[in-house]
Structure 1
Amino acid sequence: MDKYTELRAELATLTTEASNPALDDLAAMSTLDLVSAMNQEDLKVPLAIGTAVSTIANIIDQLVLRMRQGGRLIYVGAGTPGRLGVLDASECPPTFGTDPGLVVGVIAGGDSALKNAIENIEDSASAGSRDIAAFDLNGHDTVVGISASGRTPYVLGAIETAKASGALTVGFACNARSPLGNLAELRLEIEVGPEFLTGSTRLKAGTTQKMVLNMISTLAMVRLGKTYRNLMVDLQAGNDKLRARSERTVIRATGADPRAASAALDSVDGSVKAAILVLLTGLSPAQAASALERRAGFLQEALKDSQPSL
């Protein structure tokens, strides 16, 4: 059996490659029916993710243990999964004030693949191995391999190399019993059924990946003290919108008026956490910065340490 015959036989067994008989003639449907049908398919995604919440929670807990010891979170994928990994990683610095090297997205083909499909690179396990080896991984790092099929050679090569380095590896696929799940230390397989457009895994599979990556990065940051209540208190105010959001966040956390919130932010070089601490405790800006440093940035703990003056 040649490799293409073998590949065709393998793809025929994948849920992500199956066809939905209820949608076998899209052109015959009205636009309203098409929109309704696609919406009904999309509704299956959060329900499918709901079956994996315990697994996702375990992944987050293990990730956080490693990040507290200086570890990084690295997503690796090809095509849509790779783009989604880069997207999630790129949002962490402005949202949580993280170093760009803490959460990283690796896509087969590099940055040019973000805008242009480079399909053949996903077939190279050696390229995946080479790209992930460049990170000089250690046992504190976590590498999440993302592949709708769960069989992408580029991702398998990356995970094999990451695993050999001692990093925690997660195999995130949308097919059960996948080669990726079998290879990684932690298996995350969420099946969402045939795609609206047969084989187009940028649809439900992509939505699943986007939602789960949001969970992993956001909830890891909650556990790392990057939030207060449900507020973004480590955001980086790099534009007018984010500066206004910083002020609103301080107001919500403290009840201060806009003028006081703005003045507090100015006094601490825009640090939302420090501004909240100054307003709620009466600490000076320098004292607030020291209190946060002692508590590794955990605002809740810094507040407990400080006697409120209000």
Structure 2
Amino acid sequence: MTGPGPDAAGAESGQPALKPVVHVTSPTEARNPRTTDIDRVSTLDVLRLINDEDRQVAEAVRAALPQVASAVDLAVEALRRGRRVHYVGAGTSGRLGVLDAAELPPTFAVPPEWFVTHAAGGPAALLRAIEGAEDDEEAGHQEIADSVTAGDVVVGLAASGRTPYVAGALRSARERGAATVLVTANPDAPLSAEVDVFVAVDTGPEVVAGSTRMKAGTGQKLVLNAFSTAVMIRLGRTYSNLMVDLVATNAKLRGRMLDILGEATGLDEPTCAAALTEAGGELKTALVAVLGDVEPGRARAALADSGGHVHAALAQLGRP
């Protein structure tokens, strides 16, 4: 609810004008009855109280998994059609979206343009708070208007479920024919009726009232981890529970690539290294070549025909 605008009398008297006030109605803003004495207990007990609250987050996410699954299916379909997934958020929510998107290319070798991030206040807001950025609905609307096309999926991240910047972005996305998702900690979020998929992670009152970087932020992080990883799995970016589409950009990842090929095939490291070299450093190609007992070129073609799914490529090669 918005309070009174600038105080005309104050302005005439030379006093600073009052800025608009908003009272947010959300469980995250309520006072937590379990932590009212948190400033009067020992350091260890402070940490125990925080941990006790954190333990509730995973169950809250679990209750929202059917809705997360719907969001995953939307994203998979969009990416298969050459469209994109967008994360939109302000403050902690915006930073979490950027973090999730940034980690996907090296982990799953996805093109960086598949997941696009929009944070209120721009790149500078990732390092420090930008006053008023989250309240700019028009900025969110314009940000999406400039980058979203029909068939994209736009995921709004807002602990309160009412952040103006996110609201503007989601409304703009709908106008352009994009599918919309809202991830929030407020089951009664005002924006729930305006999106295609409503993911409410009911994490309840925070340890410190209103500090949504805590449980609400943890809930968003868990949802994003599950969402993007499930999208990658459905797109064939893993074989079993092994990430076979990673990009070996450093020594650790080169070692991991050898370990994964060895784990999947049972071959020793020198043999795996030779198979990777023959496959041009492409782990998935080497894997299909070894398991399918074919040359890398044929393995690469089978993967292309199967949409990158290792199991489907092996079945095509007669090696189910």
TM-score, with normalisation over the residues of structure 1?
A: 0.94
Q: Name the structure 1 match of 2:134.
A: 122
Bigger CA radius of gyration: 2
Q: Which amino acid aligns with 2:4?
A: D
Q: Name the structure 2 match of 1:184.
A: 195
CA distance in 1 between counterparts of 2:144 and 2:271 reads 47
Q: Does 1:7 align with 2:22?
A: yes
CA distance in 2 between counterparts of 1:288 and 1:163 reads 41
CA distance in 2 between counterparts of 1:56 and 1:172 reads 9
Q: Name the structure 2 match of 1:273.
A: 284
Cα offset for 1:125? 0.5
Q: Name the structure 2 match of 1:167.
A: 178
Cα offset for 1:119? 3.1
Cα offset for 1:31? 1.1
1:250 to 246, 258, 261: 261
Q: Deviations over 1:78-132 (max 9, x none)?
A: 0000000011111110111100000122111111111111131110001101111
Q: Does 1:306 align with 2:317?
A: yes
Q: Which amino acid aligns with 1:70?
A: G
Q: Name the structure 2 match of 1:26.
A: 38
CA distance in 2 between counterparts of 1:106 and 1:171 reads 14
SS at match of 2:118: strand
Q: Deviations over 1:119-178 (max 9, x none)?
A: 31110001101111221421x210000000111000000000001100000111111221
CA distance in 2 between counterparts of 1:134 and 1:242 reads 36
Does structure 1 conserve the Cα–Cα contact (< 8 Å) formed by 2:70 and 2:197?
no
Cα offset for 1:61? 1.5
Q: Which amino acid aligns with 2:194?
A: L
Instruction: Give unmatched runs, 5+ long, in structure 2.
Output: 6-18
Q: Does 1:113 align with 2:125?
A: yes
Q: Which amino acid aligns with 1:127?
A: A
Cα offset for 1:6? 6.6
Does structure 2 conserve the Cα–Cα contact (< 8 Å) formed by 1:95 and 1:236?
yes
CA distance in 2 between counterparts of 1:263 and 1:130 reads 51
Q: Deviations over 1:47-89 (max 9, x none)?
A: 1111111111122122212221112111100000000001111
SS at match of 1:101: helix
Deviates most, 240-249 or 22-31 = 22-31
Q: Name the structure 2 match of 1:137.
A: 149
Cα offset for 1:21? 2.4
CA distance in 1 between counterparts of 2:101 and 2:131 reads 22
CA distance in 1 between counterparts of 2:156 and 2:34 reads 32
Does structure 1 conserve the Cα–Cα contact (< 8 Å) formed by 2:38 and 2:49?
no
What is the CA RMSD across the aligned residues, in angstroms? 1.4
Q: Which amino acid aligns with 1:121?
A: A
Q: Name the structure 2 match of 1:295.
A: 306
1:216 to 227, 237, 240: 227
Does structure 1 conserve the Cα–Cα contact (< 8 Å) formed by 2:148 and 2:173?
no
Q: Which amino acid aligns with 1:133?
A: A
Q: Does 1:234 align with 2:249?
A: no
User: Could you say if the C-alpha distance between residues 196 and 163 of structure 1 is closer, same or farther in structure 2, counting changes exceeding 3 Å?
Assistant: same
Q: Name the structure 1 match of 2:93.
A: 81
> Pairwise mapping of residues 34-45 of structure 1 onto structure 2 (< 5 A)?
34-45=46-57
SS at match of 2:82: coil
Q: Which amino acid aligns with 1:32?
A: L
CA distance in 1 between counterparts of 2:131 and 2:200 reads 23
SS at match of 1:234: coil
CA distance in 2 between counterparts of 1:84 and 1:125 reads 20
Cα offset for 1:38? 0.7
Does structure 2 conserve the Cα–Cα contact (< 8 Å) formed by 1:172 and 1:181?
no
2:105 to 48, 68, 93: 93
Q: Does 1:70 align with 2:82?
A: yes
Q: Deviations over 1:260-299 (max 9, x none)?
A: 1111111112211111112112211212111111212111
Does structure 1 conserve the Cα–Cα contact (< 8 Å) formed by 2:262 and 2:272?
yes
Does structure 2 conserve the Cα–Cα contact (< 8 Å) formed by 1:171 and 1:183?
no
Q: Which amino acid aligns with 1:2?
A: P
Q: Number of aligned residue pairs: give it.
A: 304
CA distance in 2 between counterparts of 1:23 and 1:175 reads 20
Instruction: Give unmatched runs, 5+ long, in structure 1.
Output: none
Regions of 4+ moved over 3 Å: 3-6
